[in-house]
Amino acid sequence: MRIEVLDLSELEELTFQTAIERFGDLARGNKKIAMAIRDLSDFYISEPEVRGRYPNSVMHQIARMTFFTLADLPKAFNVAAELDALLGICEKPQLKILDLGAGYGAQSLGLLLYLSHGGSDRSVRLDVVDKDLDALDAFDQLFAQCKKNGFFKNTEHHILHLDLEKRFELKETYDFILMGNMLCEVKATIH
């Protein structure tokens, strides 16, 4: 099975434009962003019981938006391509997607890119869930920028601000449930 190469140049440009709109000239500070990427990488690979507080300064937010979102996007695209080739999971004319722990939306954006490649006109409803309001707001801003530039034409999205470590109930059914890195961040309780 051959998976096509994903050209992210236009989406990358939109991501950086959105970051500059959101954070101003700080989004141009490569050395500080590189340090924030390193901090976040160290945090992500550390054991949950030794982690400190989640790094969420403005520079960390910029790093998440401009580096991690773009780095993780192809992973979701490629998984969707493989599942579709094996199981035909993307054939429905209408799809509902739930992204738990969406953050800046890398998994959602990767899946949406796959679903929209080849000019598909399927209708998609996307529900993104996270407890980080800044990340949800940044995703909302980036998504709006993408739609304005012709991406995801038949997609509507809904932002749900929920803490996934607390009990919640969704009354919808979904065709796809994305969890990205969420399982690494939720504390496990063994009974």
- List of domains in the chain: 9-185 (3.40.50)
Q: Do you know the residue count of the chain?
A: 191
What's the CA gap between 122 and 94, in Å, rounded? 6
* pLDDT at residue 191 is higher than 80: no
Residue 151's alpha-carbon distances to 126, 154, 155, in angstroms, are 14, 9, 9
Lowest mean pLDDT among 121-125, 130-134, 182-186: 182-186
Average the pLDDT over 109-115 and give the result: 89
**DSSP code, position 3:** P
> What H or E segment, with its residue span, contains residue 155?
strand 155-161
Average the pLDDT over 98-112 and give the result: 91
For the entire predicted model, the pTM comes to 0.83
pLDDT computed for residue 125 by the predictor: 94
* pLDDT at residue 174 is higher than 80: yes
Segment of 11-15, 25-29, 120-124, 134-138 carrying the highest mean pLDDT:
134-138
* pLDDT at residue 189 is higher than 60: no
Question: How sure is the predictor about 128, in pLDDT bands with cuts at 50, 70 and 90?
Answer: very high
* Mean pLDDT, all residues of the chain: 84
Question: How sure is the predictor about 188, in pLDDT bands with cuts at 50, 70 and 90?
Answer: low
Residue 182's alpha-carbon distances to 97, 101, 119, 172, 188, in angstroms, are 16, 5, 31, 20, 12
Lowest mean pLDDT among 7-11, 72-76, 98-102, 142-146: 7-11
pLDDT digits (tens, 9 = 90+) for 129-171: 998 899 999 999 999 999 998 888 889 999 989 887 777 788 8
Closest CA to 97 of 177, 34, 181, 151: 177
What's the CA gap between 64 and 70, in Å, rounded? 9
pLDDT computed for residue 3 by the predictor: 46
* pLDDT at residue 47 is higher than 90: no
